[in-house]
Amino acid sequence: MSTTAIDHAHDHSGDHAHGHDDHPHGWRRWLYATNHKDIGTLYLFFSLAMFMSGGVLALLIRTELFQPGLQYFQPELFNQFTTMHGLMMVFGAIMPAFVGFANWMIPLQIGAADMAFARMNNFSFWLLPPAAILLVSSFFVPGGAPAAGWTIYAPLSTQMGMGMDMGIFALHLMGASSIMGSINIITTILNMRAPGMTLMKMPMFCWTWLITAYLLIAVMPVLAGAITMTLTDRHFGTSFFNAAGGGDPVMFQHIFWFFGHPEVYIMILPAFGIVSQIIPAFARKQLFGYASMVYATSSIAILSFIVWAHHMFATGMPVTSQLFFMYATMLIAVPTGVKVFNWIATMWRGSMTFETPMLFAVGFIFVFTMGGFTGLILAVTPVDIQLQDTYYVVAHFHYVLVAGSLFAMFAGYYYWSPKWTGFMYNEGRGKFHFWASLITFNITFFPMHFLGLAGMPRRYADYPAQFTDFNMLATIGAFGFGLSQVFFLFFVVIPSIKGGKKAGDKPWEGAEGLEWTIPSPAPFHTFEVPPIVK
């Protein structure tokens, strides 16, 4: 029997117990994928689809808010849009994208053949599409999609139709996927590094993901607990969050934010890792303060567990607690400041060039720092009580998540895509994408600071006339930002997958040996071939 015939028989035997040996083609290649690169690609395409869907919802929200008065959507539907936009972006776009980066790059950076658990890797991806289908189809069931905000606060979430149950089930699936992905990443990094690569020689991206994976394992079960209690309150007569039955709706907020605050660091730490790889490469210098970067990342992760109630200053907690959470929140700015300082020190007197990855990385530092400062302002309890649930908060977290997580992902895509596809992206288009994104992002979200300071509440489908101008500006910016991402998809991503200028061995010439991996203490080499231990 010829080898092709054997392969063919394998393909049709239904027995893929040896995913590594036979190489399925066509749809089987993706369905049965156990290769870290294929799974990374699946994650990235899934997150791109969710990013575009969530973006459409954002544009619907902004369309309604272009002028005062109800024009297009009833408030109920508007609230479904805001809730689903948040859930899709957080759980469908940002987190899976970073897992995609991890799958692609971690084995390459530490010199491992693949991820530790190839089949679990496959399973953790394939939990996501059913979750996405559940989320999206909740729009079409009686009562519509969840409309309690992405934080699904009780008692609202205990009152809604079956769309909420679908949302809860989708979150459970996505949480299970995250936990499996994290176990895989931790095991791979701790057990599969090339000989001679100690933890303190790992690229920063591996470090930030190692810490992120521990965070995910710690907090995902907490979210599962919160939504399971919501489910039993809804259907099984419990009263966890029902005051009439002896429960406490504020307890939901405590449990949710004990998950939710570390979650926002889960969405930014991998971004820090990507930026810490790109800046040294284009500054042609080693990363400044490698060890302090590792310790800063770890302290951010630890501190993220003791600040959760700063989301709850308006719930009437005791002044002692308010003080504690205020100071703890300010404390977390210290390690973050260390990171920003180190990035700037890395660029200081480097021979910098500004290709697209570097533009996005520098743009990231600038805009993320602004988001960090507004976060520091919101940490001050009396200020927060005024600004709670206004557009100031919306501006703050979009500066951190869009200009933070998303810009870092774009940077990572432009930096690593030549390695992934074998082709260079078009530099001119990349730069256009950067400037269009940066400018329209600021046009969209900067006015929201003023709206919030003037008292415009978030999640409202209508507003008084004095807020009109800033809302019009924000809506125009949002459509510009949306179009920039459509441009990115059709004029950058798709062409660079199809072909184009071949990427050389060292696509970032001049950044000698600093390309794909930057083992931050010397020696300079890529760890595709495990180094020889002397």
Question: In DSSP terms, which residues pair with 423 in a beta bridge?
Answer: 502
Q: Pick the catalytic residue: 16, 172, 234, 261?
A: 261
Q: Pick the catalytic residue: 265, 415, 463, 516?
A: 265
In this structure, the chain runs to a length of: 534
178 classed as catalytic:
yes
CA gap 175, 97 in Å, rounded: 15
Q: Pick the catalytic residue: 34, 182, 336, 421?
A: 336
Q: Pick the catalytic residue: 419, 458, 460, 462?
A: 458
310 classed as catalytic:
yes
Q: Pick the catalytic residue: 16, 36, 62, 310?
A: 310
Q: Pick the catalytic residue: 41, 47, 177, 356?
A: 177
Running DSSP on this structure, what letter comes out for residue 426?
A: -
520 classed as catalytic:
no
Q: Pick the catalytic residue: 41, 82, 178, 390?
A: 178
DSSP notation for 338-397: HHHHHHHHHHTT------HHHHHHHHHHHHHHHHHHHHHHHHSHHHHHHHTTBHHHHHHH
Cis bond before residue 155 (omega within 30° of 0): yes
Q: Pick the catalytic residue: 234, 285, 339, 396?
A: 339
Q: Pick the catalytic residue: 16, 36, 62, 85?
A: 85
Q: Pick the catalytic residue: 201, 234, 285, 311?
A: 311
CA gap 286, 110 in Å, rounded: 18
Q: Pick the catalytic residue: 188, 276, 297, 437?
A: 276
Running DSSP on this structure, what letter comes out for residue 154?
A: T
177 classed as catalytic:
yes
Comparing C-alpha atoms, which of 481, 482, 412, 411 is closest to residue 446? 481
239 classed as catalytic:
no
What b-and-e string marks burial along 66-88, b requiring 16 or more CB atoms within 10 Å of the CB?
A: beeeeeebeeebbbbbbbbbbbb
Q: HEC profile for 198-230?
A: CHHHCCHHHHHHHHHHHHHHHHHHHHHHHHHHH
419 classed as catalytic:
no
498 classed as catalytic:
no
265 classed as catalytic:
yes
Q: Pick the catalytic residue: 7, 11, 114, 248?
A: 114
CA gap 387, 425 in Å, rounded: 43
Output the six-digit token pair for 152. Answer: 């699904």
525 classed as catalytic:
no
Q: Pick the catalytic residue: 38, 165, 263, 515?
A: 263
Burial of 383 (0-12, 13-18, 19+ CB in 10 A): middle
Q: Are 495 and 417 in contact (CB under 8 A)?
A: no
Comparing C-alpha atoms, which of 344, 331, 345 is closest to residue 296? 331
CA gap 70, 78 in Å, rounded: 10
Q: Pick the catalytic residue: 32, 43, 104, 150?
A: 150
Angle (CA) 470-472-478 rounded to 5° is 100
336 classed as catalytic:
yes
- Beta-carbon neighbour count of residue 239 at 10 Å? 15
Residue numbers annotated as active site: 85, 114, 150, 177-178, 261, 263, 265, 276, 310-311, 336, 339, 458
